């Protein structure tokens, strides 16, 4: 099975700092990745997805994908206490005829301290 790996943390940053979350993946065929945020006891919610090499910015969030290094990252600028959550790095969900056995990362726990 092809895996996505993340540092489980916890990652602790002060309010206003940049939080950097990373994951690596083993499947060279992976074309896109998704970052979900999951608050304790809640379901994951999508915050970013990235298809191509390079950076993608959305507000305080920047996703980076480096296909050559098989590396994905998420930067959160001006971190807020409300960003405290677990961040999941995920491959695309499977589709009909493309049930690629890609395993989700376990998630990185982020704590933003006021």
Partner 1 sequence: DVKVTQSSRYLVKRTGEKVFLECVQDMDHENMFWYRQDPGLGLRLIYFSYDVKMKEKGDIPEGYSVSREKKERFSLILESASTNQTSMYLCASTVTPEIPEAFFGQGTRLTVV
Q: How many CB atoms lie within 10 A of CB 72?
A: 28
At residue 6's C-alpha, the angle toward residues 9 and 75, to 5°, is 80
9 binds partner 1 (CB under 8 A): no
- Among positions 2, 24, 75, 92, the unique one binding partner 1 when judged by CB under 8 A: 92
Residues 22-61 that bind partner 1 (CB under 8 A): 32, 34, 36, 42-46, 49
Dist CA 87 CA 108 (whole Å): 5
CB atoms under 10 Å from CB of 9, counted, come to 15
Among residues 11, 13, 75, 103, the one that binds partner 1 under rule CB under 8 A: 103
3-state secondary structure of 81: helix
Size of the site for partner 1 (CB under 8 A): 25
Binding to partner 1 by residue 107, rule CB under 8 A? yes
Binding residues for partner 1 (CB under 8 A): 1, 32, 34, 36, 42-46, 49, 88, 90, 92-96, 98-99, 101, 103-107
């Amino acid at each position: 099975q092809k895996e996505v790996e993340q540092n489980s943390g916890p990652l602790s940053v002060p309010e206003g700092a940049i939080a950097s979350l990373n994951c690596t993946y083993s499947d060279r065929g992976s074309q896109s990745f998704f970052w979900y945020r999951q608050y304790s006891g809640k379901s994951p919610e999508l915050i970013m997805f990235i298809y191509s090499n390079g950076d993608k910015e959305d507000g305080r969030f920047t996703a980076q994908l480096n296909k050559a290094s098989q590396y994905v990252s998420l930067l959160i600028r001006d971190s807020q206490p409300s960003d405290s959550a677990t961040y999941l790095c995920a491959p695309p969900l499977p589709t009909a005829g493309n049930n690629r056995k890609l395993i989700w990362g376990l998630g990185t726990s982020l704590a933003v301290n006021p």
